[in-house]
Amino acid sequence: RQAEFAQLRDVPAVTLDGQRITVLTNAGLAVDLENMVETGAEGIGLFRTEFQFMVSDELPRLDAQTALYKLVLDAAGDKPVTFRTLDIGGDKVLPYLESEREENPALGRRAIRLGLDRPSLLRMQLRALLTAGAGRELRVMFPMIATVDEFRAARELVDIECEWAKRRGRPLPALLRVGAMIECPSLLWHLDALLPLTDFVSIGTNDLFQYMYAADRTNPLVSDRYDPLSPPALRALQTIQKACADTGTPVSICGELAGRPLEAFALITLGFTRLSAPAGGVGPVKRMILSADLKAAKRGMANLLNLSTGSVRNELQSLARKLNI
């Protein structure tokens, strides 16, 4: 199997009926960059910047943050990298950052909420990203956006940092793209307001489904109580895919499910063309794509979304088997 995936490394992921799919990988530490090269991923769809903070005993300084982001961009070369700003708070507590005890950390002051409440922290990170991205393409996205106002406020901090750099005559990125992660269900009913504000969006299905199903993803007693391959979950993704297609907003999926072949089969069948998978999933997902007849799959999928069951996994498996995937 490993040898088979290695052979696919430089093969573009195209379905049997000619749909090109971009397969990216998720990363968080410098070592993950080797995985990108080894798996043949076409870039990094999610760079989890909090990892640097979590392995450090103290707040990483501006120059340390800048150095890591530069290293990542240098290693990626022409391949795109999407940096996600700090996703800490909640259960990811940093010993060197003051934080208050929260009853429900997953619903607490995590991610962008912390960044907006402590703008100096977020601004330092944005400054590091802008410095590292000077003269090249820089893609930044914000985690756990729940309201359009949060996105506006976060984007404003990017503008402020750009102005700051400009006033000092510092070079800016040649191209700056700012996006939102869709992880809070609230956004599903405000895509018409959100999408025009963003340059791209990325769906974090780990959190989106945790909140949709009210099932703590870190609690084994409840985390398996629902199947992401269920009509509600798939319809939620379909809603986002359609809104993005209608507005021409680039969209990717970066939750763990993008790295599992059957789940990824469902995603491309729904019309998604950009997947960011954990490194181990890149080869298997690519192999699935190369054997998929998307048009036939789409016809089969339409019925599955209307089934009145909590999981369409078996039906999807039969469909995949029927299509020799």
How big is the site for ligand PEP, counted in residues (CB under 6 A)?
10
Q: Based on the shown chain and the rule CB under 6 A, indicate whether residue 201 belongs to the binding site for ligand PEP.
A: no
Give the three-state DSSP class for 115: helix
**Amino acid symbol at 108:** G
Provide the minimum distance between the beta carbon of 176 and ligand PEP in the complex, in angstroms, as a whole number. Answer: 22
* Distance separating alpha carbons of residues 321 and 287, to the nearest angstrom: 14
Of 106 and 172, the one with the shorter C-beta distance to ligand PEP is 106
* Distance separating alpha carbons of residues 287 and 5, to the nearest angstrom: 8
Q: Which of 165, 162, 173 is nearest to 134 (CA)?
A: 173
Residue with tokens 């769809």: 45
User: Which residues pair with residue 175 across a beta bridge?
Assistant: 137
Provide the minimum distance between the beta carbon of 129 and ligand PEP in the complex, in angstroms, as a whole number. Answer: 17
Q: Based on the shown chain and the rule CB under 5 A, indicate whether residue 89 belongs to the binding site for Mg ion.
A: no
Residue with tokens 């998978």: 277
Question: Which residue in the set 19, 56, 99, 206 belongs to the binding site for ligand PEP (CB under 6 A)?
Answer: 206
Q: How many CB atoms lie within 10 A of CB 100?
A: 7
* Distance separating alpha carbons of residues 295 and 305, to the nearest angstrom: 16
Q: Based on the shown chain and the rule CB under 5 A, indicate whether residue 207 belongs to the binding site for Mg ion.
A: yes
String marking each residue 30-69 x if it binds Mg ion according to CB under 5 A: ----------------------------------------
* Distance separating alpha carbons of residues 144 and 85, to the nearest angstrom: 10
Of 201 and 319, the one with the shorter C-beta distance to ligand PEP is 201
Of 85 and 249, the one with the shorter C-beta distance to ligand PEP is 85
Of 216 and 293, the one with the shorter C-beta distance to ligand PEP is 216
Q: Residue 247 binds which one of ligand PEP, Mg ion, none, with CB within 5 to 8 A depending on kind? A: none
Span from 91-99, 191-199, 206-214, 219-227 in contact with Mg ion (CB under 5 A): 206-214
String marking each residue 252-271 x if it binds ligand PEP according to CB under 6 A: --xx----------------
Q: Which residues contact 27 (CB under 8 A, 6 or more apart)?
A: 33, 35, 36, 44, 46, 47, 48, 72, 279
**Amino acid symbol at 17:** D
Q: Where are the beta strands (DSSP E) in 15-169?
A: 22-27, 44-48, 81-84, 137-145
Span from 118-126, 133-141, 175-183, 245-253 in contact with Mg ion (CB under 5 A): 175-183
Provide the minimum distance between the beta carbon of 221 and ligand PEP in the complex, in angstroms, as a whole number. Answer: 20
Distance (Å) of CA 75 to CA 63, 177, 280: 18, 19, 19
Q: Based on the shown chain and the rule CB under 6 A, indicate whether residue 278 belongs to the binding site for ligand PEP.
A: no
Span from 10-18, 167-175, 201-209, 294-302 in contact with ligand PEP (CB under 6 A): 201-209
Question: Which residue in the set 42, 150, 207, 263 belongs to the binding site for ligand PEP (CB under 6 A)?
Answer: 207
Q: Residue 46 binds which one of ligand PEP, Mg ion, none, with CB within 5 to 8 A depending on kind? A: ligand PEP
Span from 126-134, 163-171, 203-211, 231-239 in contact with ligand PEP (CB under 6 A): 203-211
Which residue's CB comes closest to ligand PEP? 204
**Amino acid symbol at 275:** L
Span from 69-77, 121-129, 205-213, 242-250 in contact with ligand PEP (CB under 6 A): 205-213
H-run or E-run covering 268 = helix 261-269
267, 300 Cβ separation under 8 angstroms: no
160: its two tokens: 């402020």
Positions that interact with Mg ion (CB under 5 A): 183, 204, 207
